[in-house]
Amino acid sequence: MQLTSIVAIYVLFWVIAAFIILPVGIRSHHETGVKMMKGQSDGAPVNFRPWRVLLLTTLLATAMFGLFYLNYVYGWVTMDDIDFFNSRDRMQ
């Protein structure tokens, strides 16, 4: 696998992990009882911590990419394992 492919696939895993991690642990003003400021959105988070989100996203993306790369090297799950409709046979 080329380095550019590794970087591109890792970035995809990182973006997916970011969308998974973003809502974790976020509390609204109604849940915490904190008074809202004038003009503030009802869904605005009280305790958003961007460094924590970046760290957890990077850890999750690294773990997911590690499993992907190990599967690429050792071939645990191949196309033949997930071809439920025999599409590879019909293409030949």
Cα–Cα distance for residue pair 9/25, rounded to 1 Å: 27
* This model's pTM is above 0.85: no
Q: How many domains does the chain have?
A: 1
Encode the chain (92 residues) as per-residue pLDDT tens digits. Answer: 899 999 999 999 999 999 999 999 888 888 888 888 888 888 888 888 999 999 999 999 999 999 999 999 999 998 888 888 888 777 77
pLDDT at 32: 86
Count of Cβ atoms closer than 10 Å to residue 13 Cβ: 20
To 10 degrees, the CA torsion angle through 54, 57, 61, 63? 110
Q: Which domain holds residue 23?
A: 3-91
